[in-house]
């Protein structure tokens, strides 16, 4: 009888708590479901409030805690998101997603060691698929000083919505024409050498940066200054809008913009361009890029001969194949480029084939070594030149190498040498050019 009375007392004490726990779990499920609906509608602030309530009611509700972290990340509340994902990991340590999204939060806060450790953990835990591929991509970009494979845009890798960059170059040029085949007249002097200074500044803003899509606008201005031959000072204004889509190993970039340039104090060239790039990464070792380009070039020179009118539609098809090393810190690049120039004047109609080879690798003392070469296999002009009287046919080659090193945060230095040679059946267009210099660059 005493045992029955004791059991009755225990049940009387515990049943309200069991009932309350069950009631809290049910309320937590309701709050979690409401949060999912708001999260799907991209009302991340409202979703955060509902997920937080679910976690308050049931601290071991793993899914509510996980989505709480996602909602906080979407609002750029990275410190809070880290705490939420850490709680999820404490509840279940073998899921890759909490590690991956905590790594992203650390990455945006520029806590690189913590981010890298979490990306590596996510990579290890994740099966083959998007999370594993993205974690691998971040690991590669964080362990390389440069990531030139996907794009050369300075906006890549920026954790802010805005970015800025600039550079200062000094170099010696042994043939200070703008390249004879890029000049507007056949009377420009060749074999003139001079010391050149060049400055470049630019920046941009990520208008949209959500999930698989990014919309970025950017602009820059470049100005070269020669100490003696100031008629060849060159200024270039570049404006661009860029849409970028990424789906696992496949990405698309669609830069579209306008360029305006000055030669000396005169207007030289205005150009509209579009250059989409399609990229596919296979097994984290092979990257294939296809880049068709359409460009309209309008020259401002005064014409005395209509055949010399260089205003043209320029079409270019480029295929690049990158072979990356197992350590993801170096690559070998093979390129093929086809170009067709359809000008208003017969003298500038041509088509060309080019082949390129490039190699980048780190060497001791934190230096990156880059070497590249390109051959213009054939540049054939469609008509007999109206001034010279022969049909032009060119062969060209270019060679370059550089050594670059990061000096400190936001500052790097690069020493570079480039050689250009063009051989033509028209003697004016046969030339050689050596350029050697040093560039200091900064980015934020």
Confidence of residue 55 (pLDDT cuts 50, 70, 90): confident
Mean pLDDT score across all residues of the chain: 85
- Residue 415 to residue 368: CA distance in whole angstroms: 11
- Fold designation for 2-143: 1.25.40
Most confident of 125-129, 153-157, 182-186, 200-204: 200-204
- Residue 107 to residue 111: CA distance in whole angstroms: 6
Please name the helix (run of DSSP H) or strand (run of DSSP E) that holds residue 206, with its range, or none: strand 194-210
Contact 70, 100 (CB under 8 A): no
Q: Taking the CB of residue 213, how many other CB atoms lie within 10 A of it?
A: 11
Whether 32 has a pLDDT exceeding 90, the answer reads no
- Residue 166 to residue 198: CA distance in whole angstroms: 11
Query: What does the pLDDT average to over 46-56?
Result: 90
Whether 295 has a pLDDT exceeding 60, the answer reads yes
Long-range (24+ apart) CB contacts under 8 A made by 407-413 are 410/442, 410/443, 410/444, 411/440, 411/441, 411/442, 412/440, 412/441, 412/442, 413/438, 413/439, 413/440, 413/441
Confidence of residue 41 (pLDDT cuts 50, 70, 90): confident
- Taking the C-alpha atoms of 119, 253, 241 and 154 in order, what is their torsion angle to the nearest 10 degrees? 50
Residues of the chain with CATH 1.25.40.10: 2-143
Please name the helix (run of DSSP H) or strand (run of DSSP E) that holds residue 37, with its range, or none: helix 2-40
Of residues 146 and 188, more confidently modeled? 188
**CATH number for the domain running over 162-443:** 2.40.160.40
How many helices and strands, by DSSP H and E, does the chain display? 7, 15
Closest CA to 288 of 277, 297, 299: 277
- pLDDT per position as a tens digit, 95-136: 888 999 999 999 989 888 889 888 988 888 888 777 887 888
- Residue 154 to residue 207: CA distance in whole angstroms: 15
Whether 217 has a pLDDT exceeding 60, the answer reads yes
- Residue 401 to residue 419: CA distance in whole angstroms: 9
Contact 89, 99 (CB under 8 A): yes
Report residue 241: phi and psi, to 5°. -120, 135
Query: What does the pLDDT average to over 264-271?
Result: 93
Contact 39, 67 (CB under 8 A): yes
Long-range (24+ apart) CB contacts under 8 A made by 255-263 are 255/153, 260/236, 261/234, 261/235, 261/236, 261/237, 262/233, 262/234, 262/235, 262/236, 263/178, 263/231, 263/232, 263/233, 263/234
- Report helix angle 62-74 to 2-40, nearest 10: 30
- pLDDT per position as a tens digit, 249-262: 899 999 999 999 99
Q: What's the pLDDT at 328? A: 63
- Residue 159 to residue 411: CA distance in whole angstroms: 17
- Report helix angle 130-143 to 112-125, nearest 10: 150
Whether 285 has a pLDDT exceeding 60, the answer reads yes
Whether 364 has a pLDDT exceeding 70, the answer reads yes
- pLDDT per position as a tens digit, 331-348: 899 999 999 999 999 999
In terms of Cβ atoms closer than 10 Å to its own Cβ (0-12, 13-18, 19+), residue 117 is middle
Q: What's the pLDDT at 127? A: 84
Q: What's the pLDDT at 192? A: 81
Whether 417 has a pLDDT exceeding 90, the answer reads yes
Confidence of residue 315 (pLDDT cuts 50, 70, 90): very high
Q: What's the pLDDT at 148? A: 37
Whether 381 has a pLDDT exceeding 50, the answer reads yes
Q: What's the pLDDT at 146? A: 37
Closest CA to 154 of 205, 210, 197, 116: 205
Helix (H, G, I), strand (E, B) or coil at 59: coil
Query: What does the pLDDT average to over 46-60?
Result: 89
Least confident of 252-256, 428-432, 434-438: 428-432
Looking at the DSSP bridge assignments, the partners of residue 281 are 287
Query: What does the pLDDT average to over 66-92?
Result: 90
Confidence of residue 93 (pLDDT cuts 50, 70, 90): low
* Nearby residues of 353 by Cβ (< 8 Å), 6 or more positions away: 336, 337, 338, 339, 376, 377, 378
Residues of the chain with CATH 2.40.160.40: 162-443
């Amino acid at each position: 009888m005493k045992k029955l009375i004791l059991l009755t007392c225990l049940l009387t004490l515990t049943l309200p708590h069991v009932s309350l726990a069950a009631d809290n779990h049910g309320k937590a499920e309701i709050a979690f479901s409401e949060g999912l609906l708001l999260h799907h509608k991209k009302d991340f602030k409202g979703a955060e409030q509902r997920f937080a309530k679910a976690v308050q009611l049931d601290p071991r509700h793993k899914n509510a805690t996980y989505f709480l972290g996602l909602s906080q990340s979407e609002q750029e509340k990275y410190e809070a998101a880290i705490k939420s994902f850490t709680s999820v990991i404490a509840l279940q340590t073998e899921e890759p997603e909490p590690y991956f999204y905590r790594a992203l939060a650390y990455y945006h806060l520029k806590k690189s060691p913590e981010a890298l450790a979490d990306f590596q953990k996510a990579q290890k835990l994740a099966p083959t698929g998007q999370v594993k591929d993205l974690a691998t991509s971040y690991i590669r970009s964080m362990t390389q000083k440069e990531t030139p494979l996907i794009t050369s845009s300075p906006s890549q890798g920026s954790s802010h919505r805005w970015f800025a960059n600039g550079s200062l170059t000094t170099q010696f040029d042994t043939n200070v024409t703008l390249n004879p085949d890029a000049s507007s007249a056949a009377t420009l002097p060749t074999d003139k050498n001079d010391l050149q200074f060049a400055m470049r500044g630019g920046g941009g803003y990520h208008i949209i940066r959500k999930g698989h899509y990014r919309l970025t606008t950017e602009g820059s201005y470049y100005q070269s200054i020669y100490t003696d031959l100031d008629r060849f000072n060159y200024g270039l204004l570049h404006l661009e809008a860029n849409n970028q889509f990424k789906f696992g190993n496949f990405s698309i970039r669609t830069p579209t913009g306008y360029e305006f340039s000055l030669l000396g104090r005169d207007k030289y060239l205005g150009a509209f361009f579009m250059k989409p790039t399609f990229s596919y990464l296979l097994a984290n070792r092979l990257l294939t890029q296809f880049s068709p380009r359409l460009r309209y070039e309008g020259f401002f020179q005064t014409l005395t001969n209509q055949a010399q009118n260089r205003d043209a539609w320029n079409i270019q098809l480029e295929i690049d194949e990158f072979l990356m090393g197992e350590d993801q810190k170096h690559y070998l690049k093979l390129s093929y480029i086809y170009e067709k120039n359809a000008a208003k004047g017969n003298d500038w109609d041509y088509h060309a084939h080019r082949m390129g080879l490039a190699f980048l690798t780190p060497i001791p003392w934190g230096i990156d070594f880059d070497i590249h070469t390109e051959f213009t296999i054939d540049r054939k002009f469609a008509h007999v030149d109206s001034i010279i009287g022969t049909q032009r046919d060119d062969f060209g080659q270019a060679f370059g190498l550089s050594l670059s090193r990061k000096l400190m945060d936001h500052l790097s230095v690069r020493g570079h040498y480039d050689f250009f040679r063009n051989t033509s059946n028209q003697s004016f267009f046969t030339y050689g050019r050596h350029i050697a210099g040093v560039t200091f660059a900064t980015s934020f």
